[in-house]
């Protein structure tokens, strides 16, 4: 067998982990999707139609469109984080599924990559479900919404990788509460989901520029209006850099945990 064939086989060793998680999820797909999209949909409808009636427009566009473009990114962030935290932790620490998989020729890196890609995939399922509701309600029906799908996948990968960092340090489920409360919630308010960044003090606007959720929102929001982000290259670079850095840290910390 050639070295190239061996390399290709090694590259795809993560796929059975992805497939295993997908098959388990498929048994409870509908309740899982409802759980992931319920909060962002309630937020969209309550704030979009309720607060939107009071606010009117933001930067010349209806508030519900402004909010919808941010809410879908927030939904992907939350879905990816939840899967990379609670579900991955259950498989790693409680159920010992990772240990069982590692008895095979599958390495820890393969398991981690399988978890990363699965969490991102699941987050896209939630994003697509919300996008379908947005189209059905007529909030936006631009063809450019199709371009949002790979951007949502990239966003899911970023927050899955960050979630796996937290997962590597967790000793119990309670640990994740700090991450959701002290990291994800402030990030949501600093990333232009509910209101434009220009409403924030200048130092917070500078901070927002390096946040992955803000980069995702800036890329996706113009697509709701049939436009493209004029700083798309910069925001893409932020997401890719965050993904590579978070993956390296997650991989390092997870390997250290299993050596301990």
- Per-residue burial over 199-229, b if 16 or more Cβ lie within 10 Å, else e, is ebeeeebebbeebbbbbbbbbbbbbbeeeeb
Report the mean per-residue pLDDT for the chain.
89
| Segment 50-83, tens digit of pLDDT | 777 778 788 888 888 999 999 999 999 999 999 9
pLDDT higher than 60, residue 8: no
Q: What is the DSSP string of 34-64?
A: HHHHHHHHHHHHIIIIIIHHHH-EETTEEHH
**Contact indicator for 75, 40 with CB cutoff of 8 Å:** yes
Q: Name the residue ranges covered by the structural domains of the chain.
A: 3-259
pLDDT of residue 4: 44
State the pTM of this model.
Answer: 0.91
pLDDT higher than 80, residue 41: no
| Segment 121-160, tens digit of pLDDT | 999 999 998 898 899 888 899 999 999 999 999 999 999 9
pLDDT of residue 127: 92
Give the span between the Cα atoms of 76 and 160, in whole angstroms.
10
Contacts of 117 (CB under 8 A, 6+ apart): 14, 18, 157, 160
pLDDT of residue 10: 53
């Amino acid at each position: 067998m050639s070295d190239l064939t061996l390399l290709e086989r090694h590259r795809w060793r993560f796929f059975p982990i992805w497939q295993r998680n997908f098959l388990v999820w498929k048994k409870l797909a509908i309740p899982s999707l409802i759980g992931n999209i319920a909060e962002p949909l309630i937020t969209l409808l309550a704030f979009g139609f309720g607060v939107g009636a009071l606010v009117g427009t933001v930067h010349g566009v209806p508030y519900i469109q402004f909010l919808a473009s941010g809410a879908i990114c927030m939904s992907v962030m939350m879905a990816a984080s939840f899967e990379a935290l609670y579900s991955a932790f259950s498989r790693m620490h409680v159920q010992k599924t990772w240990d069982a998989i590692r008895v095979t020729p599958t390495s820890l890196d393969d398991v981690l990559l399988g978890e990363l890609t699965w969490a991102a995939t699941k987050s896209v399922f939630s994003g697509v479900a919300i996008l379908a509701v947005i189209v059905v309600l007529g909030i936006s029906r631009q063809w450019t919404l199709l371009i949002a799908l790979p951007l949502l996948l990239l966003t899911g990968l970023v927050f899955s990788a960050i979630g796996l960092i937290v997962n590597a340090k967790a000793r119990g489920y309670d640990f994740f509460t700090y991450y959701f409360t002290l990291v994800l919630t402030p990030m949501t308010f600093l990333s232009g989901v509910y209101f434009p960044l220009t409403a924030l003090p200048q130092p917070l606007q500078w901070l927002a520029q390096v946040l992955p959720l803000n980069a995702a929102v800036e890329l996706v929001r113009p697509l709701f209006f049939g436009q493209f982000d004029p700083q798309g290259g910069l925001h893409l670079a932020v997401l890719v850099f965050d993904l590579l850095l978070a993956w390296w840290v997650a991989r390092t910390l997870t390997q250290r945990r299993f050596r301990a």
